Amino acid sequence: MKVLITGGAGFIGSHVVRHFVKTYPKYHIYNLDALTYAGNLENLKDIESSINYTFLKADIREAHQIQALFQEYKFDRVIHLAAESHVDRSIRNPLAFVNTNVTGTINLMQAALNIWNDLNNHLFYHVSTDEVYGSLGRQGYFTEESLYKPNSPYSASKASADHFVRAYGETYGLPFVISNCSNNYGPNQFPEKLIPLFINNIMENKLLPVYGDGANVRDWLYVLDHVSAIDRIFHKGKNQETYLVGGNNELTNLQLVKLLCDVMDKKLNRPEGSSEKLIKFVKDRPGHDQRYAIDAKKLKSELGWTPKASFNKDLEKTVDWYLANKSWLANVTSGAYREYYTELYENR
Ligand code: NAD
Ligand code: TYD
């Protein structure tokens, strides 16, 4: 089976690629990635010379380029993760999110339909986010029946892509599955998302900008649990179905940041409480969703998936990875990163 994984040089994609290359030697894994600021082939050094792995540098916004690759390699199945993925960037440049997340997804589906004659043997798997459902109050959970109500340009672009995938299924018979997952954490995450940004800032003794009052809630899932869910849905998911993936692990941002500060103090041998002193409450993110929480009952009852991770242990493992990979951090935080953050945070 020829499996195309898009966005495989990014955070989640790199773990998905590694898992599929190692677990399924009979599959050939093609990793298609444009290597934007968020893509980094260092994430895949250990598997880059595997015989069942090929990297293809390409941009999903370029329809002709994508069609040519489908014609040449005849991919059987697609796991689509390539995206612009950061809410704060989407607030500053929404169109970039439409171009990659919406147009890019359509380009991939169109290219697949052009070569997939017998639709039964194929699959287009769209990896999406729970943010398409908008914000919860104190009570309740997102389920597969929740209404789409995206609040940020990022989530609106992912919601739009979900709708196009569904429409391609209904209109052209494209075989598809969609999964909508909660916030991931773990190694290889670009230090613009909360956890790796704050790890990096603590290491550099920089302020920790907590948006608003820090009471917003996220449901954190260790990235390898997301990978195991993707594997299960890829192999066992039913055509045209959506599956929600969550960690059953809700924390307010402030609870999470304080926990992270404690772990960092211990790891860096700093006096207790020193990292917490770096917390600075800053102006809230516009359109900031209050709470995300997933009810992953369907994935459990129909496909037998549950998350394995234990949050405290895996947060510590994540911190250990960043401390052991300072050159990875130094590489991705050089150049444009510094300019971006000087403007975004230090002037806040
Ligand atoms: P990421 O930003 O770390 O990686 C995205 C990857 O896509 C990068 O390697 C980048 O180079 C590539 N890419 C971007 N634009 C491209 C283009 N035009 N053509 C080809 N490649 C391009 O993202 P991530 O956090 O790993 O998220 C992966 C997917 O999972 C996204 O679709 C995201 O919406 C979804 N998701 C993420 C989370 C999360 O917590 N990170 C949660 C749920 C769903
Ligand atoms: P983030 O990692 O950007 O993920 P998402 O917005 O997709 O949930 O943010 C997680 C939470 O942390 C979110 O409620 C916003 C908050 N946050 C901060 O308070 N400060 C920061 O510097 C960042 C990046 C996020």
Out of 30, 154, 168, 292, pick the active-site residue: 154
Res 231: pLDDT = 98
Residue 250 falls in the annotated catalytic set: no
In the three-class reduction of DSSP (H, G, I as helix; E, B as strand; rest coil), residue 241 is classed as: strand
User: Interhelix angle for 311-324 vs 253-267, to 10°?
Assistant: 50
* Contacts for 209-213: CB closer than 8 Å, 24+ residues apart: 209/280, 209/282, 209/345, 209/348, 210/253, 210/254, 210/257, 210/279, 210/280, 210/281, 210/282, 211/253, 211/282, 211/283, 211/284, 211/285, 211/288, 212/281, 212/283, 212/284, 212/285, 212/288, 213/254, 213/281
Res 348: pLDDT = 54
Q: What is the CATH number of domain 2-185+220-245?
A: 3.40.50.720
State the pTM of this model: 0.98
Res 293: pLDDT = 97
Residue 131 falls in the annotated catalytic set: yes
Of the listed ligands, the closest to the CA of 332 is 1
Of the listed ligands, the closest to the CA of 345 is 2
Q: Domain coordinates of the chain in residue numbers?
A: 2-185+220-245
Q: How remote is the CA of residue 69 from the centroid of ligand 1, in Å?
A: 20
Q: Tens digit of pLDDT for each residue in 256-307?
A: 999 999 999 999 999 999 999 999 999 999 999 999 999 999 999 999 999 9
Beta bridge mates, 219: 250
Intervals of the chain under pLDDT 70: 338-348
Cβ-contact 201, 208 below 8 angstroms? yes
Residue 337 falls in the annotated catalytic set: no
Query: What residue's CA is closest to ligand 2, atom 5?
Result: 87
Rounded-to-integer distance, Cα 296 and Cα 158, Å: 20
Q: Tens digit of pLDDT for each residue in 122-156?
A: 999 999 999 999 999 999 999 999 999 999 999 99
Res 119: pLDDT = 83
Res 120: pLDDT = 85
Res 289: pLDDT = 98
Q: Which residues does a 6 A CB cutoff place in the pocket of ligand 2?
A: 87, 183, 193-194, 197, 209-211, 216, 218, 253, 285
